[in-house]
Structure 1
Amino acid sequence: MSDIRKKLSEWINEPNPVKQQWIYNYLAKRGLSGQIRIDPYSPNNRYINEQIPDSNLIILNDRIRKAWSQKIHREKKGLKSFNFIMSEHIEKQLRYLAKNLNKNLKDTLESILLNTYKTEREQQERLKAEAKKEKALKRAQGNRPTWPNFENTLFSKGSTEKLENELLKAKQEINHKDKQISDLLDMQGELRETIKELQSTSESDQNHTHTSNTNNTPKEPEGPPNSNNTSSQHEEVIIHLWDKLRARTLQMIEANTKANLNLALDASIPDNQKKKIHKKVATSVLKDFDKLKQYKGIRELIETKS
């Protein structure tokens, strides 16, 4: 056996299953399985074809050993060999970029892939951070109600009609309250004018009596019946005004009570909001009842004096 055959035979028979499998694949891809017979799973089934001249074995030995060394070197460097097909158009663009970057095709392709990967990773990290921030914000808000989708709910036909009806109802209620307040103000104005007239009449009567006493005239002062009649008329006016105020207050109490009842039956309003409105309406009703007590006390006082 020649030296080249002996060296090659010793090399392919080394107890390295990975290398033997690689040699088998290397020879099979190049159609050289007939020159060297090697079975990765059978140590006894490995031999070199005797008909192959030594000159061919020298070339084969050199090529196969270099290929194996390159494989080991690439694995140590973290490199891997690829065999793929690329369109001519893309190849021209790749060569153009490589020329401008002063790099070879491999380094240019690696730069493109690394930059694309880096950009994609940064975008994914940014989206992940935003999602984490939004999740933390929702957790901090607790059970607070989220805002509705205005585009799909607020501006839909049904929601718009409902809002318009509620707005119209609110405007009517405001106008009604304004009229009630205006009527109360008018009544209070009339009451003030009546009080002024009573004060003026009282001062006039006192001045007239004082003048009569100063002149010592034997004239009889105007008798109490006329004074009593005037006072009685004013008292009747005051009582009438207070009764009107009382009636108006009763109407407001009734309206507030109905509004409170309708509110309790409205399922579209949250319970916590209902409680706030109930409290507000109840406070208003209590104030109105206080007014009624005042009206009643004033009326009884006037009737007692008369």
Structure 2
Amino acid sequence: MFDSIEFLTRVNLNKPVRVGGRVGVIGGGNAAVDAARVALRLNECQSVQVIYRRTRAEMPAFAEEVDALVEEGAELRLLTAPAAILARNGTLTGVRCTRMELGEPDESGRRRPVPVPGSEFDIPLDTLLVAIGEDPDLKFLGRESGIDVSRRGTAMVAKETQATGRAGVFAGGDAVTGPDTVVAAMAAGKVAAEMIDNYLRGAAVQRHYDLVRPSHYVPPVAPAEQEDAPVEMPVRVEVSLLPVAERLGGFAEVELTLTEEQAMREAGRCLRCDLQTEDAKRQLVNLDH
């Protein structure tokens, strides 16, 4: 039995990881999907079942990653919640599960899974990977702390500065947003560090945006003569994927590279949001003076 992050870390560091033939993964996020796809690539693994308590539509994992997971042979056990770990003589033998149905929406906006009475069943497993979300423990923040906590149990901050309601205290990452990406947490940390520096120097706790001059100016698109004139939108280039039969033999990159022609087409889809307004043009002109 492994925590999914520990499992992924060990595999990426080439540390020994032993899994049985039947692997189960609990969770529906990107960590769960990553763990399942990695397990499929290990020689000992014969089958992978992903156990998730909601439907596929509610899975927080990226849709294309879930598609790839199914293509590679994993089974999705949807509307299924683990109720107990089964073991014999200290060795995992499986998971006892309960079938679920969707009820009213919860705080996240997704419909809350409700157990179906008398629907328990067992899934035999040799290895279990756990990839369920964790909530921040902010119980130590009493009302006198000056830091507000949302109904979801996360710290409330000013979006632009990561500042809490208490002067000199900043927060970011999953403690503010709930489960999110590492990149989002790092971005929040970068903003918080800048604001903490401002606070300690006695400067205003506010973001400062520097206008950087692009290498060249692209004129805004001229408006159409007719408001209902059709707009031709370039279609996103579909990246070629490694055939499934070649994926499971190792850890080769699944998404292949673009051709030169495809790369040029994709680059041509850039909307150049920084340059599409007259205001932006005026600001660029002012930089010359």
- TM-score w.r.t. the length of structure 1 is 0.19
> Computing the radius of gyration over CA atoms, which structure comes out larger, 1 or 2?
1
Q: Higher relative CO (CA 8 A, sep ≥ 6), structure 1 or 2?
A: 2
Give the structure with the larger helix fraction.
1
Structure-2-length-normalised TM-score: 0.19
